[in-house]
Structure 1
Amino acid sequence: MPDVPPGTALPPRPAAPPDPGPAYAVPPGPAEKELYLSVLRAGRVSLRELMEQDAAATVRLLELGLLSRYVHQEWVVAVNPRVATAKLSAALRAGAGDLLARAESAGAELDELADSYDAAQQHTRIAHVFGQVRIQQRLLAIVADHWDEALAAQPGPRAPEFVADDPQVRAALARGAVTDVLYQPVARQAPHTVAYAAAATDWGMRLRVLDEPFARMLIFDRRVAVISTTVDNRSGAAFIEDRAVVDHLVRLFLRDWERAVRVPWYDEVGRELPEPLRRVGELLAEGLTQRAVASRLGLSERTVAGHIARLRERYDADTLFQLGWLMRDGGRHD
């Protein structure tokens, strides 16, 4: 995933989000819009500076999703207002009947900010960015937006700060996003990377190892690709949105992915299969279908499908029948 180190908790705020009601559903006012535009113009702003300038407007914009906070460096960036529109619309629809009409026009409430965002995002289809802070800032803006697939080729050893729990990635995986990560064999020699891979497998990430040279890259939704442009792979990056180039990079990644080795990360750290995966495997070994397994365990088919995907990755199984066969006697046939 992106080389954006995880950070600390948000500043003090209510333990639970506010109920989606009329007060919460009110669109941003003039002061909040002006604060948003100031962050958009600056690119990134210190959270402390914003709180000192207008704490109420800052908290409001964070709650609406119009600002996203980079927790490690204590600064925030502006988020595409169209992402916040869905949240605002949902809040409006949850209100009384007289709010329903407003929900239909929620997008219009943010049109002004959306136009400003679009104007600020005008750039060439291949943008060269230099400096780790600027690269991280741009990556954060991508990760903070809604994405459904991330492909990551990460050659070489991984520093501990870049293989740690990332709440944004975990949240994306929890809602069904796909994340495939490609490592080189050196990753299996680092205990912190192996521990991360085992934990990330629990979240739903797939991590494989390829014993060949390959370039560092990140691809989001097959729409934008990020590649290194400097020898150190850190201080320079190109953000590519040219469809032909991105499609080519996707093909390169998928070619490498198919040749990569599936790794039993649980075994690497001396862990048994998590209990939910073990129970799913046992029922598959009995010949039950995915739907029957979900019914027997009282889980959704989507949850069972995720468990099966992890098991197939673990046991290198291409079909449910093959996986069920391999899961006999608790999976001790691999």
Structure 2
Amino acid sequence: TGPARIANSSVLDAANGQPPRLVLELEEVDEATFARAIGTDNRPMLKPSLADSSPPAALAAASPNPLAVRPPPTTPAGAPAAPNAPADTRPVVVIDPGHGGIDYGTQGGEIPEKNLVLAFGQALRDRLERAGKFRVVMTRDDDTFIPLGDRVRIAQKQGAALFVSIHADALPRGEGDAQGATIYTLSDKASDVEAERLAEAENRADLIGGVNLTEEPADVADILIDLARRETRTFSNRFARVLMNDMKTAVHMHKRPLKSAGFRVLKAPDVPSVLVELGYVSNKGDMGNLVSEAWRSRTADAMARAIDVFLTKRVANAGAERPEKPAPARAKP
């Protein structure tokens, strides 16, 4: 959105089924520095317009229900408000479509997970924004790779009241079949072997994206888990139950719909967070749902209702807990 320069560049070797990648690290600079760097001090700066950019490509056209990935809104999330505009005090809901960019996520057919969850995240965003009760922020609104830590920081920077990460799962070949949506919360110990497997797979996303995690101390994950406040975990678990009750009226749920594991993306100590696996791309029925606009709309409606119920009650409770201002003392006659 403004002038920048290349601060560093490197080439990563092919890994995890992905080709070699050229990595460019950009840093923001002022216009004068940018102009000097390219030798155009006297040339007027041209500022990019979102309207001039090409919209993202549609999802696989071969799908019977192709999902069109919509371009981002003309006003980016987090843009400064107009002068003298009243502050937006609505609770912030952060929607986090998993994966993106070179991280395709799970692939069970022609449409990769990153596209399926982005389309659903956009549908949920639109549903919440129509109600007008919450300010919705997307961690990504296009095919961009976002490191796991940055997704958490977006929620914290926005002062989010709720963080909802959207994914789709798949069972490895030869390990049977599974079906239905599952809701995950953070815990030190995985609730079962499958939850542990999924958390390990999702937590490797940064390795696929080329983020160097080796510089972090080995105990960082343990420290982050220890910092997770008891109150935040309580709210996360409470929302997970509310979400399950609303979703099961609209969609098929996994036989064990509530699980927990050490997902890095859920580790904001001050933001109630859940990770929703919409279904299994390895299951034909679930995959058919994931590409169905009717299913997506119905599921987004159910999730929006749960968010509304949870946050409305939490805001009301927070207001009730505020101490009343003492009445001014009256002068004695």
TM-score, scaled to structure 1: 0.32
Structure (1/2) with the larger helix percentage:
1
Between 1 and 2, higher relative CO (CA 8 Å, sep ≥ 6) is seen in 2
Taking structure 2 as the reference length, the TM-score comes to 0.32
